[in-house]
Structure 1
Amino acid sequence: MKKNVLIVTYYWPPAGGPGVQRWLKFVKYLPEFNINPIVFIPDNANYPLVDESLVEDVSEDLTILKSPISEPYKFAKLLSGKKATTISKGIISEQTKQSRIERLMLYIRGNFFIPDARKSWVKPSVALLNNYISKNNIDTIITTGPPHSVHLIGLKLKERIGLKWIADFRDPWTTIGYHKELKLTVASEAKHKRLESQVLNAADHIIVTSNPTKVEFEAITTKPIHVITNGYDDMKRIDFLLDKKFTLSHIGSLLSKRNPKILWQVLSELEKEISTFSNDFQLNIIGSIGMDVLQSIHDWGLGNYFNNVGYVSHSEAIKYQKQSQLLLLIEIDSEDTKCIIPGKLFEYMVSNRPIIALGPEESDVEDILKSTNTGQYFLYEDYTRLKQTILQHYEAFKKGELKSHPIGLQKYSRRSLTESLSKIV
């Protein structure tokens, strides 16, 4: 008989973006390991991104429970228009460029909605699930955040029922980059840390996506912590032709703090130094882009080579990955981001295109790229090596020899990762 497991998540199709992918795929493969997933989601969520194509991955046999959620972003839009939407996507202007309304919204978001703007979903969800669990032979619950208010649902149910609880952290809580942008008071910061500690010490098992996050949480709790990264899924066949141009493509949000000025400088210089480069080169940005990034691209004279595609469905993003000559993976140069392993990395790795990654020291991304032979990792001061590498890739492109030669990817398949999860469950 299969074990019933209740999974509580905010992000679920038709939500788009990286937050939905992890548990959509775990749920897809859990039945193969004698586990019956039951998914609890908000009924009327205000998702900042929508991707209807992901609905195809939801089994018709899956039991999905829903409960209404009240979110302040809907009301904030009436006051601030697009600014509420951009903040909900994580797009925050640099402090010196923030308007009064943006500063006010960040202050309200940080100090009146702790741990986040979905906190109102906690109380009614606990009441509904408390009744459902007792009637449906469920002894294990999994919560996944952000939003970390979802973990408070697990905390309350653990206190009431005493069932097995697994807390999955796709990102850290109090050390994630945008946390510092929320203009928190001392009391609010202390409350965040207190809630984080309560969750980490009440859960039976904790799952994280990177080793740095594991080390961070080990300073807060003695509960078992497991690293299960994101991964790649077996993809449907996609018809595509490799780009004829020397395309460098970034898939996903490229926000202002991720602005890789060193890369723009390298590309600008190559365009001036190599006569054929300007005819061959194209820069694709597929996803949201910060205004500072746009400005830098134009400041370095790359505007004529820039293709601002915007947000596309997941299936379209996969096509861009496969047909591009080089794939860009850009992370903020910060101590806080060394724990971040973007979910797109794993899909990049199976796209058979070389990866150019920029980020902080001691990032797990560097180790993964090296061990799988899928790309090269650069620090923000690695100007000379970055330029030499892109030049080498361009020369290989001109010869028709630019390829990726991956090894050892199987352990990052969604099915293999789900097997690891099933052992914890």
Structure 2
Amino acid sequence: MNILAVLYCYPPLLFPATLCYLKLVTGLRKYGHSVTAVTVDPDSFDLYDENLLDSTLERFLPGGVVNYRVRSWESNPLLKFMKGRGIGREMLYRMFEPKKREWVFPAVRSLKKLDLSSYDLILSCSQPHANHLIGYWLKERTRKPWIAYFSDPWTDNMYTHYRDAKALRYNREWEDRVIGAADVVLFTSEEMLRLVMEKYPRGMARKCGVLPHSFIPEWYGLPGGLMEDPERRRGRLRFVHTGHFYGPRTPLPLFDALGRLRKEVDLEERMEVHCYGLMEEKYRELAREKGLLRFVHLHQPIPYFSSLSAMREADYLLLVDAPLQKGGESVFLPSKLIDYLGSYRPVIGITPEEGASARVLRETGNLVCALESEKEIRACLRRILEGTLAVTPEREGIERYHYLSVTGQLDTLIKER
């Protein structure tokens, strides 16, 4: 089939969504589909950090994909000034909501120039949710089958704060339109599907499904995903965390546990912890105050494929999730966790006990430590260092997240349209 995929994020932009879409498109090509990717022109992206560009990603773009780049209005100096100062946000919220709405206007204008009748199916992916506005417009214009794919909840996201009730209401109106009009609605976790769809009539759930994140074994240098365990280093165990700490997701649970454990065990001789990514200076200072920097190494961000190599070199990988702001289960399935699984190294998840991350960790034979329990995290690390707790990831469970397995599910849905 000839698929028109509204993505926004695409190499060389370095975002979790970029890697997710790159894997998805690579898989679709493997299954013989033609893909036109509608993406933001990186020169017009409102770049706030040079670390968000990674040119090495472009070497892994699958052949035969048409990348239709659209210049966004988001870097327009006047619009940036208005957004920064909040000028006109209440009156002009339809220009700025949902996030990245500034890209929708030029994208639609550009798409009108294409022969849209040549496409068999529309695929819109979020983040950003603004992509689904383009998907909705394409559905209205072409009447072609439309799959809307969500990696985060829209208005149910507990970590998203809207400017006012009007902005929230407007986003909810768009969410209702998108979920109502799409032929298929996909989410990255079953927990997210339950959360989002509980506010809709039960019958609408029949068109919904789960399509998790995936990994590509060849990106780690693992042909077909078959890996011989590398010769393990003697002495200190190597623990690795990749990715940024920001917002509610902080290194505090890990640093607190290490600070206490350091008083009980000579950690400098037993372990080394490597964190690759950005974090606020106050957390670096905290690590210094706790005396952790003798064995905890805080690195700047590294290119994505270098991070995959760092995963393979680890004895254990560390996942630290954000705490829940209210009860219930965590619906977020971090793409980083699936990247971790693709390295076939043991993973220690410091995460809410109930939710997508905890479920996947348990299903793949990895460890779950309650995010709010410093005692549990500390005990887990201590047992690993003492050799009384061994972790062997379950290959069968991990293979469910192989990109050909995941994209195969999407291929089946596409062929049913």
Give the TM interval when normalised to the shorter protein.
0.7 to 0.9
- Opposite residue 190 of structure 1, the aligned amino acid is R
TM-score, L = length of structure 2? 0.85
Structure 2 letter corresponding to 1:368: V
TM-score (normalised: structure 1): 0.83
Q: Is the 1:254–1:287 contact (alpha carbons within 8 Å) kept by the matching residues of 2? A: yes
Residues matched between the structures, number: 393
Paired position in structure 2 for 1:96: none
User: Pairwise CA RMSD of aligned residues?
Assistant: 3.0
The structural deviation recorded for 1:175 is 2.8
CA distance in structure 1 between the partners assigned to 2:192 and 2:370 by the alignment:
20
1:310 corresponds, among 300, 324, 331, to 300
1:164-313 matched pairs, under 5 angstroms: 164-180=145-161, 182=162, 184-221=163-200, 222=204, 224-236=207-219, 238=221, 245-275=236-266, 277-313=267-303
- 2:133 maps to 152
Q: Give distance in 2, aligned partners of 1:121 and 1:214.
A: 27
Shift of 1:177: 4.3
1:196, distance to aligned residue in structure 2 (A) = 1.3
Structure 2: any 5+ residue segments left out of the alignment? 223-229
Structure 2 vs 1, CA of residues 250 and 149 (structure 1 numbering), >3 Å: closer, same or farther? same
Matching of residue 59 in structure 1 with residue 62 in structure 2: yes
Q: CA separation of 1:419/1:45 partners in 2, compared to 1, >3 Å: closer, same or farther?
A: farther
Check conservation: 1:254, 1:293, Cα contact below 8 A.
no
Residue 18 of structure 2 corresponds to residue 12 of structure 1: no
Local SS of the residue matching 1:377: strand
In the alignment, which of 334, 353, 358 is matched to residue 345 of structure 2?
A: 353
Does residue 315 of structure 2 align to residue 334 of structure 1?
no
Aligned to 1:90: none
CA contact (8 A) 1:41 1:67 kept: yes
SS in 1 for 2:260: helix
* In structure 1, distance between residues paired with 2:188 and 2:53: 24
Please give the per-residue CA displacement for 1:207-244, whole angstroms capped at 9, x wherever unaligned: 11011210122234415111010011122465987566
CA change 1:219–1:140 in 2 (3 A) is same
SS at match of 2:275: strand
Distance 1:146 1:236 in 2: 23
The answer (yes or no) to whether the contact 1:111–1:185 under 8 Å persists in 2 is no
1:119 aligns with 2:101: yes
Measure, in 1, the Cα distance between the counterparts of 2:98 and 2:280: 23
Structure 1 402/74 Cα, relative in aligned 2: closer, same or farther at 3 Å? farther
Kindly provide the CA deviation profile for residues 316-354 of structure 1, in whole angstroms up to 9, marking residues without a partner as x.
101111112221111111157811111111221232322
Instruction: Name stretches of at least 5 consecutive residues in structure 1 with no aligned partner.
Output: 85-100
CA shift at 1:363, angstroms? 0.8
Q: Does 1:404 align with 2:392?
A: yes
Following TM superposition, by how much is the alpha carbon of 1:75 offset from its aligned partner in structure 2, in angstroms?
Answer: 6.7
Identity %: 22
Secondary structure at the residue paired with 1:9?
Answer: strand
Is 1:365 aligned to 2:347, yes or no? no
2:87 and 2:194 map into 1 onto residues whose CA distance is: 29
Matched with 1:132 is 114
Q: Is the 8 A contact 1:9 1:40 kept in 2?
A: yes
Deviation at 1:299, TM superposition (A): 3.6
8 Å CA contact 1:338, 1:362 repeated in 2: yes
For each residue in 1:370-410, what CA deviation from the matched residue of structure 2 results, as whole angstroms up to 9, or x when unmatched? 1111x21122333333222111111239xxx9663323121
